[in-house]
């Protein structure tokens, strides 16, 4: 028997470094790329982060969450608050695109991730007691509560949201964050520790019978997933330059869910493809934009009826014929 | 005091609509054990059927004409509910809950987006299909519409209770929701029961849609979203699977929301329902009238 | 005699009106292979669920290695050294045979989540060690040939064996086996008897075995306790149990006294 020892070489780390290099290279040439294409690329990257992070919660750990846009909102507001309110005080006369500005943005993105992770912790706790559709509802309710709270919080713009957010989001930041999200989730779920996510999803009672703490795994999944959703939110705000509470509503959460379902729950590669596809689709379908949501809906139902394990599930189950 | 009574009637009429929607959630959950996310949009379709039917029924603006519109919407929604069940949910019988749940979300999105294409996204004003007026009782003034909503919803709940506890179909329904396998062994055709459950629940949602529209008075393709979510909260608070629980939960939620809406915290009105949901799911997941279940190992 | 490894002290569990386990006392000394038998619904699986923290006793106490288990959750009890198999097989649907065992090695060897991101040498070595250990265990139970197959796709008997391997991967001091012979054919049952004895010897683990097959129970157990309607009605050597009038009445039936086994 040939043992393929996947863990012997730190290939994933190499991959991450390459991706970061590519991100830097890409941004060096970004002024030669058509701005429209850049925008699409940034949109794709942000959606990849969202889909991959939701996939950790919903796909690998089986905690079906309908509140991912809520985490994104927390991150978007946290990051915008840092650059809008803290930025002018910390770096009053920074050169545009210079080191100081990028350092500030890094700080803003980290704050976004941490704030969202904290929210993830708060939502993760009810998930300890609930499963399936009840959990879906609580996460949905959580997303709505965040929205209502933001709408009522005047220091952050209330229902009108925040405007004039500096356009710090570049291709580099997006590609680097997406690479990091893929790397973290990918490494995690492949490790012995991370197999526990799947074990908890498959059977909580059996998981605790082999010494895994399902509660801990679920909370970890929520915290890490929310962290990256927060970063995606931060990138989104500094890309669009304006955010409103209603931009992070239930429909936004559903869009992310559709990506994960389309790609196949727990299938990182498929989910990335789906995020790309679903970001490009509206661009292609611009002439029939009003049909977009109907199309999403039909896609979702058709998938569940015809290909419940996702569009990109090519791995034929290695099954043993019963002897 | 008069203020309070006024609020009470406002709360009850809103709660009555929540109760009508909540009943459908609870009944469908009872037989299939999943949240039919599309239920809220059946409610919306009910409103639109009312809108399109209103100009064509004889005696518009009279009680009889209004009732005809109401029945039309109920029948239309019953058919829609059965159609959804047949096309989207039946093929998934026995599939993991998650798949059914996602399908339900898909159907819901389909109705919303389809509604926007077909009916247009802008709100449409809803005609006065019932006689309008006000009743003054001393210092109090109620609109007839509010009383009508409460009355019709109350009558429907009683009718449903009779149907479930006094008819053969009702006992089959209870059997299936208690133990589908045993029910099948007893010769009950589960598919038929499930189809009827969808028809009944959707008819109630259709009635709710018309009553809600009469009170507002407008309809739009997304009008189901918020009432739908709140009605689901009502179903959980009352105890999912319990018919009196759904009615109770609906009224409770309507009252709480009206009180909050009349207070300085009115902008938090929409968050209250979800806060209530989370509190209940955490501390009393079986709801007020429901019973808890444990998993056998 | 030293203190028992596992001790149940007047343990009772009620489900509503039903008393599934009724004031049961049980003491298993370290190293013993004990049987727990009784008719269907006697409360055997419920005793396992009480020991492993799936349910908390209505009254009474369970202690393991002198330490009360009250308030501990299932995974903490596994950490204390108790592992189990399930009467209705509960394998992880999406894990391969190898991963099923690897995931159970978490208690002892797994690197922390942070290490799995930084991937230093220590991490890679610990991951390799886990894989090696999992493969050794699989080899020992003749399951290595299914290494990359989905656990749930194995033939039934192999699934039961994989559950035992998974439990052993947590390095238990006490192993609870819930009807491991259920659904096996007579030849497989014989193999299982040998297997249980080997596990008992080579892993120096204490075993509590629930089993309906008298061939298996009488063949391997050093001592047997009998439950009926949640109460312990007898306890003793296989010989004594076979002759016990209360046990014959409640469970074995008259044929057993004369050595004819059913099931
Ligand atoms: N979660 C539960 N809720 C209610 N009753 C339960 C639960 N678990 C077990 N019971 C009941 O407790 C009693 C004991 O069940 P248990 O499964 O322990 O029996 P057993 O001895 O393992 O039987 P078998 O040989 O059939 O496996 C039975 O009457 C069973 O129906
Ligand atoms: Mg049992």
Architecture of domain C6-81+172-262: 3-Layer(aba) Sandwich (3.40)
- Subunits with 3+ Cβ pairs within 8 Å of B are A, C
Residue with tokens 């609109």: B143
The protein residue whose alpha carbon is closest to atom 16 in ligand 1 is C43
Structure tokens at A141: 């309710």
- Is ligand 1 within 6 A of the CB of residue C44? yes
The answer, yes or no, to whether residue B59 has pLDDT greater than 80, is no
According to the model, what pLDDT value does residue A284 have?
Answer: 81
Ligand 2 centroid distance, CA of C88 (Å): 9
- Does residue A111 belong to any structural domain of this protein? yes
Cβ distance of A129 and B105 shorter than 8 Å: no
Q: What is the CATH number of the domain that holds B118?
A: 1.10.3470
Instruction: Answer yes or no: are the C-beta atoms of B15 and B251 closer than 8 Å.
Output: yes
Instruction: Tell which wins on pLDDT, A127 or B97.
Output: B97
Instruction: Tell which wins on pLDDT, A285 or C196.
Output: C196
CA separation for the pair B229, B22 (Å, rounded)? 9
Number of the ligand 1 atom closest to the C-alpha atom of C212: 25
The answer, yes or no, to whether residue C28 has pLDDT greater than 90, is yes
Helix (H) or strand (E) holding A188: helix A171-190
- Does residue A161 belong to any structural domain of this protein? yes
According to the model, what pLDDT value does residue C256 have?
Answer: 55
Interface membership of C56 toward B (CB under 8 Å) = no
Edge-to-edge order in the sheet of strand C206-210: C82-84, C174-178, C206-210, C33-37, C223-228, C231-236
What's chain A's length in residues? 323
Residue with tokens 């080997």: C198
CA separation for the pair C118, B226 (Å, rounded)? 45
Ligand 2 centroid distance, CA of C230 (Å): 12
- Is ligand 1 within 6 A of the CB of residue C216? no
According to the model, what pLDDT value does residue B293 have?
Answer: 60
Cβ distance of A187 and C109 shorter than 8 Å: no
- Residue B249 bridge partners (DSSP): none
Instruction: Answer yes or no: are the C-beta atoms of C32 and C206 closer than 8 Å.
Output: yes
* Chain B residues bordering chain C (beta-carbon distance below 8 Å): 297
- Does residue B297 belong to any structural domain of this protein? no
Nearest CA to CA, how far is A291 from chain B (Å)?
8
**pLDDT band of B292, cuts 50, 70, 90:** low
**pLDDT band of C259, cuts 50, 70, 90:** very low
R_g of chain A, CA atoms, integer Å: 20
- Does residue A301 belong to any structural domain of this protein? no
Instruction: Answer yes or no: are the C-beta atoms of C23 and C12 closer than 8 Å.
Output: yes
- Does residue A263 belong to any structural domain of this protein? no
Nearest to A209 among C84, C119, C144 (CB): C84
ipTM of this predicted complex?
Answer: 0.89
Instruction: Tell which wins on pLDDT, B53 or A130.
Output: B53
Residues 6+ apart with CB under 8 A from C139: none
Instruction: Answer yes or no: are the C-beta atoms of C210 and C23 closer than 8 Å.
Output: no
According to the model, what pLDDT value does residue A101 have?
Answer: 87
**Per-residue pLDDT tens over the stretch C75-133:** 999 999 999 999 999 999 999 999 999 999 987 665 677 777 777 777 888 888 899 99
According to the model, what pLDDT value does residue A290 have?
Answer: 74
- Is ligand 1 within 6 A of the CB of residue C176? no
Instruction: Answer yes or no: are the C-beta atoms of B97 and B33 closer than 8 Å.
Output: yes
Each residue's pLDDT, cut to its tens digit, for chain A (323 residues) gives 334 444 444 577 777 888 888 877 877 777 778 888 889 999 999 999 999 999 999 999 988 888 999 999 999 999 999 999 988 888 877 777 778 888 999 999 999 999 999 999 988 887 777 766 778 878 888 888 898 899 999 999 998 999 999 999 989 999 999 999 999 999 899 889 999 999 999 999 999 999 999 989 999 999 999 999 999 999 999 999 999 999 998 888 988 998 998 898 888 999 999 999 988 987 787 777 778 778 878 888 998 888 887 777 665 444 444 33
Residue with tokens 């605790």: A208
Residues 6+ apart with CB under 8 A from B245: B26, B235, B238, B239, B287, B288, B289, B290
Percent of chain B with pLDDT over 90: 47
**pLDDT band of B295, cuts 50, 70, 90:** low
Structure tokens at A285: 């379908």
Nearest to A293 among B109, B268, B275 (CB): B109
CB pairs under 8 A between B and C: 4
Residues 6+ apart with CB under 8 A from A153: none
Instruction: Answer yes or no: are the C-beta atoms of C172 and C81 closer than 8 Å.
Output: yes
Numbers of helices and strands, H then E, in chain A: 13, 0
Q: How many domains does chain A have?
A: 1
- Is ligand 1 within 6 A of the CB of residue C51? no
**pLDDT band of B204, cuts 50, 70, 90:** very high
- Does residue B296 belong to any structural domain of this protein? no
Closest CA to C125 of A197, A9, A195: A9
- Chain B 40-99, CB below 8 Å of chain A: which residues? 88, 91-92, 95, 97-99
CA separation for the pair A186, A271 (Å, rounded)? 12
Cβ distance of B88 and A301 shorter than 8 Å: yes
Alpha helices in chain B (DSSP H): 2-32, 39-53, 63-84, 97-119, 144-166, 168-178, 180-185, 190-215, 225-238, 243-261, 269-283
Helix (H) or strand (E) holding C10: strand C6-15
Q: Which residue spans within A81-185 are E strands per DSSP?
A: none
Task: Find the mean pLDDT for residues B86-101.
Answer: 88
Winning range, highest mean pLDDT, from A302-306, B70-74, B164-168, C192-196: B70-74
Q: How far is CA B146 from CA B51, B79, B212, in A?
A: 19, 28, 10
Q: For residue C150, is the peptide bond before it cis, meaning its omega torsion is within 30 degrees of 0?
A: no
- Residue B202 bridge partners (DSSP): none
- Is ligand 1 within 6 A of the CB of residue C37? no
Residues 6+ apart with CB under 8 A from B9: B142, B146, B147, B150
CA separation for the pair B146, B215 (Å, rounded)? 7
Cβ distance of C106 and A319 shorter than 8 Å: no
* pTM beyond 0.90: no
Interface membership of A149 toward B (CB under 8 Å) = yes
Instruction: Answer yes or no: are the C-beta atoms of C103 and A196 closer than 8 Å.
Output: yes
The answer, yes or no, to whether residue C261 has pLDDT greater than 90, is no
Closest CA to C220 of C200, C202, C235: C200
Cβ distance of A291 and B117 shorter than 8 Å: yes
CA separation for the pair C55, B297 (Å, rounded)? 10
**Where is average pLDDT lowest: B57-61, B211-215, C118-122?**
C118-122
Residues 6+ apart with CB under 8 A from C167: A209, A210, C83, C84, C85, C104, C175
- Does residue B56 belong to any structural domain of this protein? yes
> Residue B43, class by beta-carbon neighbours within 10 Å (0-12 exposed, 13-18 middle, 19+ buried)?
buried
CA separation for the pair A139, B174 (Å, rounded)? 31
Instruction: Tell which wins on pLDDT, C101 or B266.
Output: C101
According to the model, what pLDDT value does residue C110 have?
Answer: 58
C230: left (phi over 0), alpha (psi -120 to 50) or beta: left
* HSE, side-chain direction, 13 A CA sphere, residue B239: 12
Nearest CA to CA, how far is C83 from chain B (Å)?
15
Instruction: Tell which wins on pLDDT, C176 or B130.
Output: C176
The protein residue whose alpha carbon is closest to atom 19 in ligand 1 is C41
According to the model, what pLDDT value does residue C57 have?
Answer: 95
Closest CA to C61 of C24, C15, C14: C24
Cβ distance of A62 and B95 shorter than 8 Å: no
**pLDDT band of C260, cuts 50, 70, 90:** very low
Task: Find the mean pLDDT for residues C12-36.
Answer: 94
**Per-residue pLDDT tens over the stretch C42-69:** 999 999 999 999 999 999 999 999 999 9
Nearest to A187 among C95, C116, C147 (CB): C116
- Chain A 189-248, CB below 8 Å of chain C: which residues? 190-196, 198-199, 201-203, 205-214, 220
Closest CA to C143 of C105, C97, C104, C185: C97
- Is ligand 1 within 6 A of the CB of residue C88? no
The protein residue whose alpha carbon is closest to atom 18 in ligand 1 is C43
Domain that holds residue B240: 2-283
According to the model, what pLDDT value does residue B77 have?
Answer: 98
Question: Within 10 Å of residue C254's Cβ, how many Cβ atoms?
Answer: 9
Ligand 2 centroid distance, CA of C84 (Å): 13
Cα dihedral sign, A186-A191-A193-A199 = positive
- Subunits with 3+ Cβ pairs within 8 Å of C are A, B
Ligand 2 centroid distance, CA of C44 (Å): 5
Cα dihedral sign, C149-C151-C157-C163 = positive
**Per-residue pLDDT tens over the stretch B22-40:** 999 999 988 888 889 899 9
Residues in chain B with CB shorter than 8 Å from the CB of A261 are: 102
Residue in A with minimal Cα distance to B297 = A205
Task: Find the mean pLDDT for residues C163-176.
Answer: 96
Structure tokens at B254: 């309507």
- For chain C, the average pLDDT equals 89
Residue in A with minimal Cα distance to B271 = A145
According to the model, what pLDDT value does residue A255 have?
Answer: 87
Closest CA to B198 of B104, B71, B289: B104
Domain that holds residue A183: 12-26+33-249
Instruction: Answer yes or no: are the C-beta atoms of A204 and C139 closer than 8 Å.
Output: no
Nearest CA to CA, how far is A272 from chain C (Å)?
20
Residues 6+ apart with CB under 8 A from B282: A126, A129
CA separation for the pair C27, C206 (Å, rounded)? 12
CA separation for the pair C29, C49 (Å, rounded)? 20
Instruction: Answer yes or no: are the C-beta atoms of A63 and A222 closer than 8 Å.
Output: yes
According to the model, what pLDDT value does residue A250 have?
Answer: 82
Structure tokens at B175: 């059997």
Residues 6+ apart with CB under 8 A from A64: A58, A132, A133, A135, A136, A139, B98, B101
């Amino acid at each position: 028997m040939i043992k393929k020892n996947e863990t012997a070489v730190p290939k994933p780390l190499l991959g991450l470094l390459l991706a970061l290099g590519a991100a830097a290279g890409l941004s060096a040439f970004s002024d030669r790329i058509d701005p429209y294409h850049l925008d699409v690329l940034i949109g794709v990257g942000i959606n990849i982060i969202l889909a991959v992070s939701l996939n950790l919660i919903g796909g690998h750990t089986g905690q079906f969450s309908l509140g991912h846009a809520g985490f994104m909102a927390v991150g978007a507001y946290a990051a915008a608050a840092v650059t809008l309110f803290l930025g002018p005080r910390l770096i009053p006369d920074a050169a545009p695109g210079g080191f100081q500005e990028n350092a500030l943005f890094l700080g803003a993105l980290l704050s976004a991730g941490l704030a969202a992770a904290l929210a993830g912790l708060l939502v993760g706790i009810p998930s300890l007691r609930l499963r399936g559709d009840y959990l879906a509802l609580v996460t949905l309710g959580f997303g709505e509560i965040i929205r209502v709270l933001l709408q009522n919080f005047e220091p952050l713009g209330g229902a009108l949201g925040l405007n004039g957010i500096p356009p710090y989001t570049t291709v580099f930041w997006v590609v680097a964050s997406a690479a990091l999200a893929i790397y973290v989730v990918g490494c995690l779920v492949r490790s012995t520790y991370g197999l526990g996510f799947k074990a908890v999803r498959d059977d909580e009672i059996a998981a605790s019978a082999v010494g895994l703490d399902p509660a801990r795994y679920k909370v970890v999944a929520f915290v890490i997933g929310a962290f990256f959703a927060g970063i995606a939110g931060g990138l989104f705000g500094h890309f669009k330059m304006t955010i409103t509470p209603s931009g992070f509503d239930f429909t936004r959460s559903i869009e992310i869910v559709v990506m994960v379902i389309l790609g196949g729950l727990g299938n990182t590669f498929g989910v990335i493809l789906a995020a790309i596809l679903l970001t490009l689709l509206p661009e292609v379908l611009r002439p029939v934009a009003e049909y977009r949501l109907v199309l999403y809906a039909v896609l979702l139902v058709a998938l569940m009826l015809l290909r419940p394990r996702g569009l990109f599930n090519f791995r034929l189950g290695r099954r043993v014929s019963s002897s | 005091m008069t203020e309070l009574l006024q609020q009470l009637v406002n709360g009850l009429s809103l709660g009555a609509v929540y109760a009508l929607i909540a009943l459908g959630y609870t009944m469908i959950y009872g037989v299939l054990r999943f949240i039919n996310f599309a239920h809220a949009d059946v409610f919306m379709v009910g409103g639109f059927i009312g809108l399109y039917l209103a100009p064509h029924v004889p005696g518009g603006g009279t009680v009889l004409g209004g009732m005809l519109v109401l029945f039309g919407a109920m029948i239309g929604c019953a058919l829609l509910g059965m159609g959804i069940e047949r096309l989207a949910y039946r093929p998934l019988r026995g599939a993991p809950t998650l798949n059914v749940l996602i399908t339900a979300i898909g159907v819901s999105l389909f109705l919303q987006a389809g509604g926007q294409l077909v009916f247009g996204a802008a709100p449409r004003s809803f005609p006065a299909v019932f006689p309008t007026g006000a009743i003054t009782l001393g210092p109090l003034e109620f609109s007839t519409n509010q009383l009508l909503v409460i009355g019709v919803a109350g009558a429907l709940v009683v009718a449903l209770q009779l149907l479930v506890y006094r008819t053969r179909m009702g006992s089959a329904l209870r059997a299936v929701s208690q133990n589908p396998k045993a029910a099948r062994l007893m010769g009950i055709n589960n598919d038929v029961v499930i189809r009827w459950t969808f028809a009944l629940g959707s008819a109630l949602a259709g009635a709710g849609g018309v009553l809600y529209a009469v009170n507002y008075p407008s309809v739009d393709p997304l009008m189901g979203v918020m009432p739908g979510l709140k009605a689901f909260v009502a179903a959980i608070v009352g105890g999912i699977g319990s018919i009196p629980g759904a009615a109770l939960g609906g009224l409770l939620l309507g009252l709480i929301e009206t009180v909050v809406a009349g207070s300085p915290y009115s902008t938090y009105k929409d968050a209250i329902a979800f806060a209530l949901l989370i509190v209940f799911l955490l501390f009393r997941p079986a709801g007020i009238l429901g019973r808890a279940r444990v998993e056998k190992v | 005699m030293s203190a028992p490894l596992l001790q149940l002290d007047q343990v009772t569990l009620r489900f509503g009106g039903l008393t599934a386990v009724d004031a049961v006392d049980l003491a298993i000394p370290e190293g013993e292979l004990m049987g727990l038998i009784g008719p269907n619904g006697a409360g055997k699986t419920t005793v396992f669920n009480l020991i492993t923290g799936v349910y908390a006793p209505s009254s009474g106490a369970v202690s393991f290695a002198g330490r009360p288990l009250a308030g501990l959750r299932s995974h903490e009890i596994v950490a204390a050294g108790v592992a189990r198999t399930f009467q209705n097989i509960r394998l992880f649907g999406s894990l391969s045979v190898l991963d099923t065992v690897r995931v159970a090695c978490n208690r002892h060897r797994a690197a922390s989540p942070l290490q799995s991101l930084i991937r230093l040498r220590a991490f890679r070595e610990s991951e390799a060690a886990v894989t090696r250990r999992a493969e050794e265990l699989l080899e020992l139970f003749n399951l290595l040939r299914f290494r990359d197959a989905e656990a749930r796709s194995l033939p039934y008997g192999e699934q039961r064996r994989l559950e035992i391997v998974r439990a052993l991967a947590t390095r238990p001091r006490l192993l609870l086996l819930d009807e491991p012979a259920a659904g096996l054919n007579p030849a497989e049952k014989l193999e299982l008897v040998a297997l249980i004895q080997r596990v008992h010897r080579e892993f120096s683990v204490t075993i509590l075995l629930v089993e309906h097959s008298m061939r298996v129970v009488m063949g391997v157990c050093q001592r047997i306790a009998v439950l009926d309607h949640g109460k312990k009605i007898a306890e003793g050597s296989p010989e004594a149990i076979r002759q016990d009038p209360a046990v014959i009445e409640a469970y074995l039936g008259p044929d057993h006294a004369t050595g004819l086994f059913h099931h």
